[in-house]
Amino acid sequence: MTIQRIYIGGWFQRTTLHLTEIWDFLKHGRSNLDFPKEDLDEARDSLSLDEVSRESGPLEYILVKTAKGISYRIYEDGLIILEKEFKSLKDDFEAIRNYYDDKLSQALSLIFSKGAPVPKELASIKTILPYIVTVADATKGEIEKTFKDSAEDVYSVLTTKNIEVYRSPGMILINNLKDENLTREIIESQIFFREFKSQLHRYLAIHRILWEKIKTIKERGEIRGNDIDSLRNELAVYQKTINLIGARIDQMPAYVKTRQKITDLEKIDDYLQPLFQFKFETLLDTHEYIKHLWEMTKNYLTSAIETFSELQAKSTKNTISSLQLITTIGVVAAILGYLGRDALPKFTSAGLIYFLLLMAMTWLINGVVSRFYKNKKYRIKSEDIEKDIK
């Protein structure tokens, strides 16, 4: 058995504009944004860059070679593929993973740290990125030993045209795919498919989390007036998250269509589909499902915010109406008291004390009325939602 190369990769939604920013950073150590130069230099130095070039093709990409024996390509659509020639599987796995997690990801996070933030619900969900290992002329026993030595359990074996693909949670092994260009194309497509699907699965998980949080707030039955504002603010935070992720979901189909146009569909049908069970149409169908699900989540949140806005307005109106009544009674009483007098009263210390006591009593009554309506419980009107969506 000949072990050839180890690959790892990821995909983040990017454009040719982002590629130019990455190029300026990797090639020249600069950014058009106001990052401290020492931060840029520190991040760039950590990458151990040897060669950096900008290459053309169906998609433009940056080709990077490092002094650590790791090379990688960053494509304009955001796909990143790292690769390393084989020396020792255990050491190579650790080296390429550490470079990806601790060096490259940190550097790219720095130069893209300005602008729309990543929602904390999305940032907190971690994804295991399996290694992809290419080998040639491997026997079944050698492959099984490779997985055993890496403490990995194979759960899938697929074969087509004498090419074998073994899969475990942490490693994908491809045997006898000897065409280097075809190997690269298939690995890039596989990583793109996997990452696209993984992002949609994250959004499904976030939908479930947010839906339950909104449901908990909306279906409380009753709520004190004092709690309305804080819960409405909590819903506003969820609204920000939903809007940010909704924008990302809306962008995703364009990337699938671009990859579909530049991919040799005949090779996909011959290799990628039978070996990895992926189709572009399936990705788009899954995306469409998540998009509609997200729209439903957005509408559910909007109805909850409207409900709490109405309750807040009702609570404020009740408080103001009560205070107006108290003020009116006081003014009328004062006017009636002076209607039967021929002259205004003289200023006395007793009168001042009386006035201050009257003001204190008014303040106390206002406070009691305000507290009453803050602690008054309001019923939350909630419409039943059909849970079995056909």
Name the residue with tokens 């200023």. 347
User: Residue 70's beta-bridge partner residues?
Assistant: 84
Q: Which helix (H) or strand (E) holds 261?
A: helix 225-262
Rounded CA separation 126/15 (Å): 24
Provide the residue type at 342 as one letter. D
Strands 131-136 and 171-175: parallel
CA 189 to chain CA centroid, nearest Å: 23
Tokens, residue 1: 């058995």
Please list the residues that pair with 164 across neighbouring strands: 159, 175
What distance in Å separates the CA atoms of residue 54 and residue 183, rounded to the nearest whole number?
A: 21
**What are the distances in angstroms from CA 238 to CA 120, 121, 164, 176, 202?**
11, 10, 45, 49, 16
Sign of the CA dihedral with 318 first, then 319, 320, and 324 last: positive
| pTM for this predicted structure | 0.75
Contact 60, 48 (CB under 8 A): no
Residues 6+ apart with CB under 8 A from 58: 262
* Distance separating alpha carbons of residues 20 and 161, to the nearest angstrom: 40
In whole angstroms, give the CA distance from residue 301 to residue 295.
Answer: 10
**Tokens 């230099």 label which residue?**
41
Distance, in Å, from the CA atom of 214 to the CA atom of 208, rounded to the nearest integer, reads 10
Per-residue pLDDT of the chain (390 residues; tens, 9 = 90+): 899 999 999 888 888 999 999 999 999 999 988 899 999 999 999 999 999 999 998 899 999 999 999 999 999 999 999 999 998 988 999 999 999 989 999 999 898 888 766 655 555 445 557 899 999 999 999 999 999 998 999 998 888 888 888 999 889 999 998 888 888 888 888 889 888 998 899 899 989 988 998 888 877 767 676 677 778 888 888 888 899 899 989 999 999 888 888 776 666 666 666 666 567 788 899 999 999 999 999 998 988 888 877 776 666 655 655 555 566 666 556 655 555 555 556 656 766 675 667 667 666 666 666 565 555 554 555 544 343 333
CA nearest 75: which of 194, 176, 188? 188
